[in-house]
Amino acid sequence: MTSLFCRRALALTTFAFVLAGCATAPAPPAGPAAVDELHELASAVEIRRTAYGVPHILAPDLRAAAFGLAYVQLEDHGVRIIEGMNAARGRSALVDGARRADDDADA
């Protein structure tokens, strides 16, 4: 009897921790302050490309470097990134038409 109680308590505790881990904090509002912050990051980053198109990111800190990396990735692979996001969210048919409805059913 005690063993069954311990197993149930352990299962309930594990479930509570998993549920708490899935909770997300609300996103900060995207107002003028956020836009100003992005402009500051963009002005702090310098991106140079070699003759072969290899990007070199110069930034004063890690946050600005991450912004520069994201910018370069979207420049180079933007269409594929957006298509992948739409596919993962099950929105391919909404964007690309009814021919992608079967792909959305798999997502």
DSSP assignment letter at 100 = G
Length of the chain: 107
The pLDDT tens digits of the residues spanning 62-75 come to: 999 999 999 999 99
What CA–CA distance (Å, rounded) separates 107 from 100?
11
Global confidence as pTM: 0.58
Residue 1: per-residue pLDDT: 52
The DSSP secondary structure of 49-77, one letter per residue, reads: E-TT--EEEE-SSHHHHHHHHHHHHHHHH
- Please give the structure tokens belonging to residue 36: 């100003």
The pLDDT tens digits of the residues spanning 9-64 come to: 555 555 545 545 555 566 666 666 688 888 998 999 999 999 999 999 999 999 99
